[in-house]
Amino acid sequence: MDPLTGLFRFHRTTDLYRHRTRSIYTVLSGDELPNGCETSPSAMDYALAHHYLEGAELAARSGDRDTLSWYRTHSRTFPPHWFTTTPIGPTIVQCPDPRTLRQSPIADTPYHLLGPNTEPAPPLATELVAAAFDIGAEYGFGDLIADHAPIVCLLIERKLGEPLNSWAITRLPGTVFLDHVGDPTILARDLIHEAAHNWLNTALAAADVELDDGKTWNSPWKNTRRPTFGFLHSCWAFPLTMLFAARAVRRVPQVLATYLAQHRRKLASTAADHQHALAAVTDTDLRERLRTVHALALRACPDQPPLVT
């Protein structure tokens, strides 16, 4: 059996999705959902609810009554033209101009919101994302991507070899922001990385785990010491992309083999600290999932993976 089977299905998140989605709906509509209604909101419902809540709050603060009204009246009926069908479920693809991304007064990370003027991305972009979803699923990451990256914002198309920026933000779970090179396999790798961050944020919240123990650990990816929260995030997201790269290396041999060689050395250097840092994760089930992925990546990815032609 594939060791990733079931790994991303952390059942505590179902209750979190239900509670938060219902709460947001109540805030936006002014009405509570009837008992038994919408007991299992989808990952897309959950992601969209946070876009609507953020958009409504911004509209209310700026006095934009029309936009506020739109978010409130459409909180249960999402525009159908936003959605693209993929083999693992619906996605919403956007191609916002990076210069138009919003900035929050309480955080530096820019973001894009869905709203009354939202239009779907061009066909080439939606086809690229659909292909990346398909490739991710082929190698065992379908649940992770479908549930934790249903909304994809493609930013700058860069040349192969140039640095690629990508991020996710806690305020918009299920939304990811990525540069890309036009290759669906490389995009799948980066979708997995950002979906992994969303997964862990959601799992920590669902398990009521707070990683604020005051300790710091050396992070080879940032080349600095990081608190437990950031260190464990890196030791979860990078191993998952390594596992994907090891499985998909024949698709883009030069890129993924080089990626594996670079990150295997970094991951190996975290082995001892990772075992100690996991003590801060008080939920046994969650802690063992983090431990499993780290160990799988170390075993699956040799120090110098051969280039496959």
- Among 106-115, 125-134, 217-226, 247-256, which stretch is predicted with the lowest mean pLDDT? 106-115
pLDDT digits (tens, 9 = 90+) for 2-60: 999 899 999 999 899 999 999 999 999 877 655 545 557 899 999 999 999 999 999 99
| 251 located within any domain | yes
Rounded-to-integer distance, Cα 115 and Cα 82, Å: 10
**What pLDDT was estimated at residue 303?**
54
Range of the domain at 306: 207-309
| 307 located within any domain | yes
Using a cut of 0.85, tell me whether the model's pTM lies above it: yes
State the average pLDDT over residues 125-133.
98
pLDDT digits (tens, 9 = 90+) for 259-309: 999 999 999 999 999 999 999 999 999 999 999 999 999 997 655 444 443
**What pLDDT was estimated at residue 305?**
43
pLDDT digits (tens, 9 = 90+) for 173-220: 999 999 999 999 999 999 999 999 999 999 999 999 999 879 999 999
Burial class of residue 157, CB neighbours in 10 A (0-12, 13-18, 19+): middle
| 13 located within any domain | no
| 167 located within any domain | no
State the average pLDDT over residues 60-72.
96
State the average pLDDT over residues 141-155.
98
**What pLDDT was estimated at residue 137?**
97
| 221 located within any domain | yes
Task: Supply the Cα-derived Rg of the chain in whole angstroms.
Answer: 20
Contact at 8 Å (CB) between 260 and 243?
A: no
**What pLDDT was estimated at residue 302?**
58
- Among 74-78, 250-254, 292-296, which stretch is predicted with the lowest mean pLDDT? 74-78
| 104 located within any domain | no
| 70 located within any domain | no
| 73 located within any domain | no
In the block, residue with structure tokens 């953020």: 54
Q: Report the SS3 class of residue 177.
A: strand
Q: How many domains does the chain have?
A: 1
**What pLDDT was estimated at residue 135?**
98
